[in-house]
A and B are shown apart, each in its own frame.
Chain A
């Protein structure tokens, strides 16, 4: 069972990092889509949602093409900084972040579109700059919707399997997350380990949901 705890720790680390990245990028993208009109906006929206509908193996393949040793980004990173992402936990973070990204982006866009633009104008007239309007009016009012998306993204990142396996492989203690460990245990006929892993995964998910219920503010004043 020692291996199970290691896998759990790795899963949480990867999912947390992926969610943190999605929080920043997804909120920024959702805000841009909700508040700014630019040509090709709906096309951008569709492309950003692709990870939700594409098979994870396809995403994994794309990632290999981009960040692999011979990929245009991966090659450049290796030549310039000696960084390589394939078969590392950082690679798993990138895979999970991309797969979970649409959850944050889509819910953030919807949440921002729900904020009455007049409230932002009221703040503007009262002398606030764009950043202050965002952090003092828009974000607090959209926060609940964004939080829902963030929790879904975390859950998705935690359960990510296909793209992670292709990009980061299954190196025990290094890139073997819980969901991959379950697959490996079943393949190897280690039923006892598989049982333990499955129970651990389920318990973790229940704990996260309970925590989420606690974290969500008890009362956000209603909007008229």
Chain B
């Protein structure tokens, strides 16, 4: 797959209904693992997603994923939706109302003209019921589920078919605000665990800030010049609590993504995984000023690593300056030198068992993939 762009989409489609005409003319390329198509309702985001999934036949264009063409009007190629191996989560989830949660999840696993029987447990389906923590509701029908449970069922159903990428249509729009925040984190965590590319469409800026590696802005059927989520000129509010300023000290390119090394004022280093495009767009080069954004909930805290070997490549050493207990979680603020702090959200239980208190030495840990890089404007 090296060399091939992950998402390579250019589609044109003219739709007419009731005297109203809409022209979709979208083109974008991205290597992002978490790509967000962002735009207002009616901008053509859903149509684009449907064209990628094979549910809408473009008049013209090409859709390719990791170098494999799924649709190509020149070559006369139009792979049927069922053969594209893409998971699709509909905005209202589109769960089969006549089937239980377990039957919904095992839907793609049983071939032929019959649905999986009620109570028939397939190991592959049960694994996803466990992963998404919906096993306790396995025998319920969709109309007996809450919004969050429905979303998890829809995700499990899509994932059980073993797709090579997941397409999500406004996955959080049908949920209330507090649930939205939690499920965003869960989805992000699930994505990094499965290492599955996700393309998500949304009209909510907060989804972009919380989820996007790369964002394509869509307006009136077209992709418009994009502003990265960390662009200070953007009117976007950034939900990440941690902004660490430093200087770019190294750039390394990989097959799919690149890496940026940022050295903070006090000398500690941060590694971030970014796309080729982001580096070019932000004008990142050795010596450039940049900042790293990390969500407080993505940061782990340790007091002593001992001989532990961890996958988290960012390990910032410092001193606890404050401990703020909450209802369930606690906020820990760690001074990492140079007047910069890292805030971590951990459970009260963890704070207690680590014996965290102001003045204690602590290490803030986070993944290179959870860092968003920006440049000051």
Where the two chains meet, the residues of A that have a C-beta atom closer than 8 Å to any C-beta of B are 116, 118-119, 121-129, 131-132, 135-137, 140-141, 220-224
Contacts and interface: CB of A to CB of B under 8 A. Distances in A.
A201 to B, nearest CB: 36
A125 B143 contact: no
A132 B111 CA distance: 8
B98 A125 contact: no
B107 A126 contact: yes
Nearest to B88: A125
Contacts of B82: 124-129
B113 A136 contact: yes
B86 interface: yes
B97 A132 contact: no
Contacts of B88: 121-122, 125
Given A129-B82, A224-B97, A123 B113 contact: no
Interface of B: 53-55, 80-88, 90, 92, 94, 96-98, 107-108, 111-115, 141-143, 157-158, 161
Given A126-B161, A135-B113, A119 B143 contact: no
A137 B142 CA distance: 14
B161 A141 contact: no
Nearest to A121: B55
Closest 9 CB pairs of A and B: A221-B141, A126-B108, A127-B82, A122-B94, A135-B113, A125-B88, A223-B97, A118-B94, A124-B81
Contacts of B115: 136, 140
Given A125-B81, A127-B83, A224 B114 contact: no
B97 A222 contact: yes
Contacts of A220: 98
Nearest to B115: A136
A152 B111 CA distance: 34
A126 B84 CA distance: 9
Contacts of A116: 94
Given A124-B81, A141-B98, A224 B86 contact: no
Given A122-B88, A125-B82, 11 more contacts: A118-B90, A118-B92, A121-B94, A125-B86, A125-B88, A126-B161, A128-B82, A136-B107, A221-B97, A221-B141, A224-B97
